[in-house]
Amino acid sequence: MISANSYTHKAVCRILDANLDRAREGLRIIEEWCRFGLNNSQLSLVCKKLRQDLAIWHTIDLRIARDTMGDAGTGLTHPQEEVRSDIISLLQANFCRVQEALRVLEEYGKLYHPDMGNACKQMRYQVYSLESNLMGYQKLELLGRSHLYLVTSPQENILGIVEAALQGGLTLVQYRDKNTDDIIRLPLARQLCQLCHNYGALFIINDRVDLALAVDADGVHLGQQDMPITIARQLLGHNKIIGRSTTNPQEMQGAINEGADYIGVGPVYETPTKIKAATGLEYVNYAAKNCPIPWFAIGGIDMNNINDVINAGADQVAVVRSIMESEQPTLTTQYLIAQFHRFHNN
């Protein structure tokens, strides 16, 4: 161990003090969202225990080494620290803050106490698990309260249409383009992903797990002929959303058994994007009574028939043409979402 009277000892103590403060503050910010934003006592308790475990190491000799006036870093800042565009970016920034602080504590702690380095290492792994669980929970929570799901079709002004819909309150977007070359699809997917995240919305990729990984999308939507959900989960990790298209109760149960986070139910009406025959409202009614996970009625749904679909039991719908081909995507989005609020308020 370093000498108690050395300059090095004081410097190490200042480093440990600063990073203990940093880690505990970051955890408190995360804990507040778990408690008040998600009302999740389990995740809140994990944050609280981590803070308490860190507090054990925040001893008086570390605190008295603090020299705020002489700290050369108090005036340093970065433009990214001044902006938090949404709750996801806020949480991710503070998870990074905690993890970096714990790594510093792990290394410098070895100079201070024989057990401190290993203790902080174990806490860092716990924070990784917390991040995965919380971000996954956050995405699923938003998925579950998204009444409207936009599935895109190739359009010259796709970015403008999607942004207009996001301005109308849309919180869930799927990028669907089966024919465009990847050299075009990849940068467009990256732009759409960033656009959605700027508005606090989820961004899903149709079919392509590799593309979802490349742009760090929130998940992927798979058809019946696509890879098994278990394989997609291994590739994407447990904090990503995976959906599956279904056209009948057997496919629904299969998707549930595989571990799908949500399913598509349809096509409800005839539509050029679906080659299978329309299922009508009967399958919607079946899903309303039997599906334990989020599900979206899809297929030919528009402003003229959405209330029929809602009355059949749908609380979430996916649309393509009604927004992508709308002259006023913002107003169309607002109208479609408003039908759910009107139904629940009656």
CA–CA separation, 237 vs 132, rounded Å?
Answer: 9
Residue 275 is predicted with a pLDDT of 66
The residue that leads in pLDDT, 273 or 157, is 157
CA–CA separation, 27 vs 142, rounded Å?
Answer: 22
Residue 1 is predicted with a pLDDT of 56
CB atoms within 10 A of CB 58: 14
Residue 42 lies in a domain: yes
Q: What is the pLDDT of residues 175-186, one digit of tens each?
A: 999 999 999 999
Judgement on whether residues 118 and 192 belong to the same structural domain of the protein: no
Is the pLDDT at 257 greater than 70? The verdict is: yes
Residue 140 — very low, low, confident or very high, per pLDDT cuts 50/70/90? Answer: very high
Is the pLDDT at 342 greater than 70? The verdict is: yes
- Give pTM, 2 decimals: 0.80
321 is catalytic: no
CA–CA separation, 190 vs 48, rounded Å?
Answer: 36
Judgement on whether residues 70 and 168 belong to the same structural domain of the protein: no
Residue 2 lies in a domain: no
Q: Which positions ≥6 away from 333 have C-beta within 8 Å?
A: 148, 150, 164, 165, 167, 168, 169, 170, 323
Judgement on whether residues 220 and 286 belong to the same structural domain of the protein: yes
Collapsing DSSP to helix, strand or coil, 154 comes out as coil
Q: What is the pLDDT of residues 222-250, one digit of tens each?
A: 999 999 999 999 999 888 999 999 999 99
Judgement on whether residues 132 and 151 belong to the same structural domain of the protein: no
Residue 79 is predicted with a pLDDT of 56
Residue 1 lies in a domain: no
Residue where one domain finishes, among candidates 79, 113, 141: 141
Two tokens, residue 334 = 């607002």
Amino acid at site 117: G
CA within 13 Å, CB half, 16: 29
129 is catalytic: no
Q: Domain containing 98: what range? A: 7-141
Catalytic residue among 14, 97, 139, 176: 176
The CATH number covering residue 291 comes to 3.20.20.70
Number of domains in the chain: 2
Residue 96 lies in a domain: yes
Q: What is the pLDDT of residues 66-100, one digit of tens each?
A: 877 666 666 555 555 566 667 878 998 999 999 99
Task: Report the pLDDT averaged over residues 303-324.
Answer: 98
Residue 85 is predicted with a pLDDT of 66
Task: Name residue, tokens 């009277």.
Answer: 5
Is the pLDDT at 113 greater than 60? The verdict is: yes
Residue 306 — very low, low, confident or very high, per pLDDT cuts 50/70/90? Answer: very high
Residue 77 is predicted with a pLDDT of 59
Judgement on whether residues 180 and 329 belong to the same structural domain of the protein: yes
240 is catalytic: no
Residue 76 is predicted with a pLDDT of 55
The residue that leads in pLDDT, 345 or 336, is 336
Judgement on whether residues 36 and 161 belong to the same structural domain of the protein: no
Catalytic residue among 240, 274, 322, 326: 274
Judgement on whether residues 278 and 164 belong to the same structural domain of the protein: yes
Is the pLDDT at 35 greater than 70? The verdict is: yes
Residue 52 lies in a domain: yes
Tell whether omega for the bond before 267 is within 30 degrees of 0, i.e. cis: yes
Residue 71 is predicted with a pLDDT of 65
The residue that leads in pLDDT, 132 or 315, is 315
CA–CA separation, 123 vs 180, rounded Å?
Answer: 45
Residue where one domain finishes, among candidates 78, 107, 141: 141
Residue 300 is predicted with a pLDDT of 96
Residue 121 — very low, low, confident or very high, per pLDDT cuts 50/70/90? Answer: very high
Judgement on whether residues 132 and 198 belong to the same structural domain of the protein: no
Judgement on whether residues 220 and 317 belong to the same structural domain of the protein: yes
The angle formed by the CA atoms of residues 211, 216 and 219, to the nearest 5 degrees, is 75
Express the helix, strand and coil content of the chain in percent, nearest 5 each: 60, 10, 30
Residue where one domain finishes, among candidates 141, 161, 191: 141
Judgement on whether residues 161 and 41 belong to the same structural domain of the protein: no
Judgement on whether residues 182 and 132 belong to the same structural domain of the protein: no
Judgement on whether residues 130 and 154 belong to the same structural domain of the protein: no
Catalytic residue among 146, 245, 322, 326: 245
CA–CA separation, 194 vs 159, rounded Å?
Answer: 11
Residue 346 — very low, low, confident or very high, per pLDDT cuts 50/70/90? Answer: confident
